[in-house]
Amino acid sequence: MRTKLTAAAAIALTALPLSASADGEVNIYSYRQAYLLEPLLNAFEKETGIESNVVFAKKGLAERLEREGRNSPADVVMTVDISRINELVERDLVQGVDSETLEENVPENLRHPDGKWFALTTRARLIYTSKERVDEGEITTYEELADDKWNNRICTRSGKHPYNIALISSMIAHHGEAETETWLKGLKDNLARKPQGGDRDQIKAIAEGVCDVSIGNSYYYGNMLRDENQRPAAEAVRLVFPNADGRGTHINISGISLTKSAPNRENAVKLMEFLSSPEAQSIYAKANTEYPANPNVELTGLVAEWGPIQPDSLSLQEIAERRNAAVKLVDRVDYDG
């Protein structure tokens, strides 16, 4: 196995250990962490004989691709959040893939209509509630977060964080901008403190009694349960799958796109198809307590214990197209102020 895993900050991406084109190789730019990719790429090489070269970064990959242009060695980009994925499309940095395998493995609402991105996993944007101070079934929808019964009882991270922007975008898709603005004002009025921290910090805040309700991604809760130092905080909260009896729970994705240059295009498409397969989907989902994008993959581990999810069937592309409107709403209601 010769997979090359290189950690790199965006500022240090000037010298990449990737050859432009080589038989039996594929070059990956990734925002996803090494521990998530290594078992997948090992399995891919075992099945196909194709070796993987990976550069990791926290930011700046779109800018790097733009600067490199047609000379970029990258074949695919792996990233999280529909906004980041759609940025690649809007900058014309990726190309469409016509693959029956990908279309069979990835539902229509979890892929670009022209094949410019495909979801690999999904993560649910859940409501966390205190087991002590909130009764089971007391809140069941995102809309209820604006109910004044929760005044001074809700914590969230910044409204401008991509995960919250995606949720707000989905609310706009379902309710329109005016109604969503009213809802967002109501949610802000119910905050127990100024938006801060990450999703795990909201769980900790509930455990500490700072608030009773918060919003967060499902995999953060799962990863906290796996950490003996964070497990007590996670065990203090209950998971709520909002709108499960209606339109379904809002989801976001991790995904993959084929770059415009893709010097190893054939190998890259094989990788994309492999990552959508049941074998790879099981590995990927189990490693980070995420849900498989492939609906034919059986749930395992913690996500299986939580039970099946009823996801919102709204196209992720529709959510991406409403991002700018969502950002403007956050500013208009001064959510983070």
Encode pLDDT of 38-79 as tens digits: 999 999 999 999 999 999 998 899 999 999 999 999 999 999
Gap between the Cα atoms of 103 and 113, Å rounded: 10
Write out the two tokens for 190.
């119910």
Region 259-279: mean pLDDT is 96
The pLDDT assigned to 33 comes to 80
State residue 212 phi and psi, 5-degree precision: -115, -20
Q: Which CATH architecture has domain 4-122+252-306?
A: 3-Layer(aba) Sandwich (3.40)
Element (H, E) at 120: strand 118-130
Distance of CA 113 to the CA centre of its chain: 19
Q: What is the widest separation between alpha-carbon atoms in the chain? A: 62
The pLDDT assigned to 308 comes to 84
pLDDT at residue 15 tops 50 = no
pLDDT at residue 14 tops 70 = no
Determine whether the annotation assigns residue 219 to a binding site.
Answer: yes
The pLDDT assigned to 16 comes to 44
Three-point CA angle 333, 336, 337, nearest 5°? 80
DSSP string, 46-110: HHH--EEEEEE-SS-HHHHHHHHGGG----EEEEESHHHHHHHHHTT-EE----HHHHHHS-GGG
Write out the two tokens for 46.
């075992």
Mean pLDDT, the chain, whole residue set: 92
Write out the two tokens for 154.
């809700």
Classified by CATH at the fold level, domain 124-249+318-332 comes out as D-Maltodextrin-Binding Protein; domain 2 (3.40.190)
Gap between the Cα atoms of 181 and 261, Å rounded: 41
Gap between the Cα atoms of 159 and 165, Å rounded: 7
Which residues have a Cβ under 8 Å from the Cβ of 175 and sit 6 or more positions away?
183
The 8-class DSSP code of residue 243 comes to T
Taking the CA atoms of 12, 159, 88 and 293 in sequence, report the sign of the dihedral they define.
Answer: positive
Q: β-pairing, 76-80 with 251-259? A: antiparallel
Distance of CA 265 to the CA centre of its chain: 25
Region 227-243: mean pLDDT is 97
pLDDT at residue 8 tops 60 = no
Q: Where are the domains of the chain?
A: 4-122+252-306, 124-249+318-332
The more confident residue out of 307 and 30 is 30
The pLDDT assigned to 47 comes to 94
- Calculate the alpha carbon distances from 19 to 158, 193, 282, 294, 337 in Å: 40, 50, 30, 32, 47
Write out the two tokens for 248.
């379904």
Q: Among residues 282, 191, 267, which one has the least CA distance to residue 28?
A: 267
Gap between the Cα atoms of 237 and 204, Å rounded: 9
18 band by pLDDT with thresholds 50, 70 and 90: low
Which residue carries 């499902």 as its tokens?
218
20 band by pLDDT with thresholds 50, 70 and 90: low
Determine whether the annotation assigns residue 284 to a binding site.
Answer: no
98 band by pLDDT with thresholds 50, 70 and 90: very high
Q: β-pairing, 291-292 with 213-217? A: unpaired
Region 274-295: mean pLDDT is 89
